[in-house]
């Protein structure tokens, strides 16, 4: 007869812990799924900053190419008053566009000589 209280207490604790773990599993399962990007770039429309050296300028297409972080990146300069000159080290504020070159919103001469 002395074992019944111990057995009952152990069984009660086991049931309580099982209920808590099941509640935690439900919370994980109820997390909403992320929406697919449907082929869009991850930062479309968000302004970003890049520093680089101008390597090419194409005034007829209104584009310029910059070497930044070891990569060549082409920008569309239709929003700019003037395209930068080859050899300049510039800071570029830009937005990504799907299916084309990134759109430069501002171009400034950089204060640092590293790119």
* pLDDT score recorded for residue 10: 78
Q: Is the pLDDT of residue 43 over 80?
A: no
Dihedral of CA atoms 92, 96, 101, 103 in degrees, nearest 10, equals -50
Please report whether residue 38 resides in a domain: no
The mean pLDDT value of the chain amounts to: 75
Number of domains present in the structure of the chain = 2
Instruction: Convert the pLDDT of each residue in 48-82 to its tens digit.
Output: 888 999 999 999 999 999 998 889 999 999 888 88
Co-location of 94 and 52 in the same domain:
yes
Co-location of 54 and 15 in the same domain:
no
Q: Rounded to two decimals, what is the model's pTM?
A: 0.57
* pLDDT score recorded for residue 115: 56
- pLDDT more than 70, % of the chain: 63
CATH number, position 62? 2.40.50.140
Which residues constitute the domain of residue 14? 1-31
């Amino acid at each position: 007869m002395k074992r019944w209280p111990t057995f009952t207490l152990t069984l009660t604790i086991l049931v309580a812990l099982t209920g808590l773990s099941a509640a935690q599993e439900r919370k994980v399962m109820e997390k909403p799924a992320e929406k697919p990007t449907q082929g869009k770039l991850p930062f479309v429309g968000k302004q970003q900053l890049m520093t680089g050296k101008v390597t090419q300028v194409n005034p007829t297409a209104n584009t310029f190419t910059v070497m930044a972080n070891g990569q060549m990146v082409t920008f569309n300069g239709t929003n700019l008053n003037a395209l930068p000159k080859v050899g300049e080290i510039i800071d570029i504020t830009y937005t990504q566009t799907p299916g084309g070159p990134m759109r430069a919103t501002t171009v400034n001469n950089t204060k640092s000589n590293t790119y």
